[in-house]
A and B are shown apart, each in its own frame.
Chain A
Amino acid sequence: MTAILELDGLEVRYGAVPAVRKLSFQVGKGEIVGLIGPNGAGKSTTLHAILGLVPAHAGEIRFEGRSIRGRSPEAVVRSGIALVPEGRRIYAHLTVEENLRLGLAGRRSRDLESLERDFEWVYELFPIVQEFARRHAGTLSGGQQQQLAIARALVARPDVLLLDEPSLGLAPQLVDVVFQALAAIRERGVTVLLVEQRAQRTVAFADRTYVLSNGELSTTLGPGDAGDTDRLIAAYFGR
């Protein structure tokens, strides 16, 4: 496995309080890797550290073999890592199309032909994004906004896609839509790091799932562990 994203002894502190402690893991090219754990385990903090939103107190963050620690968020994103943020962070007063175009800010290639292909693919994946292109994004339902947020990250054509709780607050059938989209995204060769609360579903879906507890890596689970509820619960609560 060639690691495309690698954390090596990452430590993040908020003041004196450690949020992430000595966290090391690797995400291989083309993999879907899950990151689960209870509230406050440090999942979002880990994503924020990768993106340069919070400074790493110690340790290394490497993307394609090069350190990206200390870079500004826009520099990280422009180097090929896109984020679907928690709470979707859609611009309610902009149109759906404008929201989608904002995703292009992180795109490296300026080739128009590949741009058109990517838009077609995204429209195929999420037809509502094309259908409601001229609407204000604030008028979309939560599930539609989530689809827009993923579409917006995809038009940046990232090598690695980070998702921060994409299924939060969604109805079950919309959760299916999100996970189906993730499968299609993997087929495209995009590497996915998925932070989720839905532990069982994530473990079953991802190639590997890291369980965080109190800012530390407690266990690594494979798809086979998804059926083992006891093991899952034990890992989740760090017992």
Chain B
Amino acid sequence: MRAPLATAIAIAVGLIVLAGYFLPDQKLQNVRSLLLDWSILLAAVATLVAIINLVISHFRKVANGVNQNRVFSIVVLVSFFITLLVGMVLGPANQQFQRVVTHIQVPIESTLLGVLSISLAYAAYLFTRQRRGWANTAFMTAVVFFLLANSWFLVFGQAVPVIGEILSGIQKIPLAGSRGILIGISLGSLLTGLRILTGIDRPYSG
């Protein structure tokens, strides 16, 4: 086995954290929270390393890239260093600094959200045009049906005794479907975690 020490540490820490989740022992809880605090620190250091990697990558693009890529990379680097410099001088908690950053970030992200809504509408149009099978016809029918079932259109039927119960049952069908998908995802996550916890899979080379 490669890197047995790293694997042993990973398994031991994983088992302690997992045991702390299930067992109410106070000493175990203390060790667990200490290990989780360390993991937060390590994640912060990892983010710093990844940011340095990003900056180096953009410096490389400026040095070697074609015109358009070079311009984007220059914008990224200039914005990054201005934000870093101002953040270090004023401090990240400074109100003025936070206001400036927020007033740049929020409009940009709102614009992207607007673009997203148009993109999804366009993708939906392409979906109906390009995919013509029974499964997709059933999907589109279900979309229209449940949109109607959950809208004001059938709200008057809720008051009628039998129809109200039928409508209530219909409205729960998407919930049941999503729970089915979520159960599959939970089992997949559990097994993926267990493969790492038992050292069968190692997403780290050590």
A and B from one assembly?
no
